[in-house]
Structure 1
Amino acid sequence: MSQEHPDNDENDVSLFYEAVKGARPVKTNRVSHAPKKPKPIPRQLIRDEKQALIDSLSDHYIPAYELESGEELLYLREGQSPMVLSKLRRGHWVVQAHIDLHGLISDEARVTVSEFIAGCKKRGLRCVRIVHGKGLGSRNKEPVLKHKLRNWLMQKDEVIAYAQARANDGGSGAVIVLLKA
């Protein structure tokens, strides 16, 4: 084994500096390949909003303004033209979405209706159908959800009017709802 001379190291360094004397750093467009951190999921906010939707509908709401026509469900928000209700009953607007509440208990139906209306509002839908059933499968053979749905819908600001569906759309087991634009 031979021992290297310390002067060789100094010569190598000085040779290197001489070789790179006029060099400039290269400009690069370095792209970070590190994966971007995902945005945090606001889980508590989502839970709070869902609970607010549930809490926004009460079974004990007493409307200030409701139209009664025997057993037929009719409602027109105060300040709206009666022509709106007339057009709704005649099928002037096309039903753009629908849900069926058959088999749901009251609490499940309330949440489903609230989420459905919120989703329709986000999608810009105006006319929807909610099938509540005729109550033939309930204990007393009475339409429990029909009456609760009436109260829930009147509490929603998005609802302008609703009317019992025509026979080909579900009749007394469904309601057609007109939402704000």
Structure 2
Amino acid sequence: MTTPHDDADFRALMGDVRPLTRGHDRAHPGRRRQGPSEAQLARRESAAGGGEADDILSDDFVDLVPPFDPLDFRRDGIQQGVVDRLRHGGYPVQASLHLLRRPLEECRRSLPVFLRDAVEHDLRSVLIVHGRGREIDSPPNVLRSYLAKWLAAFDEVQAFVSASQADGGLGATWVMLRKSERARAANRERQQKRRG
């Protein structure tokens, strides 16, 4: 609750301060605002043109996954049996990416390239080895937490889970990739041949 005395003190402190007028450039009065700089235009073009996987991976903030909690993610429509089979190594390792002891920025650059190559070569199950620390803020656990955030950002990733002990345990992650259109067409063709 303010008193008349508080109002008088406030007015005395403000003295000759006047509100800003609307429509003027506050930084430089009398100067008209210019268009975007070349650097700003280049950034806009890059953002609009891409949709590149590299651009969607942020290293701003991540909720850290506790070091002894397994990673587990599946998109709608993916059956739990497929995820269980993936977790227990029921699919062959078609490719693997080793990120152990690598800087976070290098991992952020390597992951999209690896996944893009895997999709282009019609690979479905890949293994990412990243390590796991004992402390929640240890570098391997921070990487594991970012990896969980990044993998979920790729439409091609159908599911991912922490590997079984035989495949690296909590220090490795199985990733199931979406079947390419080329692989789907080949699968339909095989099924039609079987039916006669």
> What's the TM-score, normalizing by structure 1?
0.62
Indicate whether 1:76 and 2:90 are aligned: no
Indicate whether 1:169 and 2:162 are aligned: no
The total of aligned residue pairs comes to: 129
Asked whether the 8 Å contact 2:73–2:160 carries over to 1, the reply is yes
Partners of 2:78 and 2:136 lie apart in 1 by 35
Indicate whether 1:88 and 2:86 are aligned: yes
Indicate whether 1:56 and 2:56 are aligned: yes
Asked whether the 8 Å contact 1:53–1:111 carries over to 2, the reply is no
Structure 1's 98 and 137: CA in aligned 2 closer, same or farther, altered over 3 A?
Answer: farther
Partners of 2:132 and 2:55 lie apart in 1 by 26
Cα shift readout 1:25-82 (whole Å, capped 9, x = no counterpart): xxxxxxxxxxxxxxxxxxxxxxx699933212224588xxxxx9x6001111122212
Structure 1 partner of 2:3? none
Partners of 2:81 and 2:159 lie apart in 1 by 11
Deviation at 1:127, TM superposition (A): 0.4
Asked whether the 8 Å contact 2:100–2:140 carries over to 1, the reply is no
Is the helix fraction higher in 1 or 2?
2
Partner amino acid, structure 2, of 1:89: R
Partners of 1:78 and 1:60 lie apart in 2 by 27
Deviation at 1:101, TM superposition (A): 0.5
Which structure has the greater CA radius of gyration?
1
Pairwise CA RMSD: 3.1
Q: Extract unaligned runs of 5+ from structure 2.
A: 1-45, 180-196
Structure 2 partner of 1:130? 128
Q: Point out 4+ residue stretches in structure 1 off by more than 4 angstroms.
A: 48-51, 136-139
- Give aligned-pair identity as a percent: 34
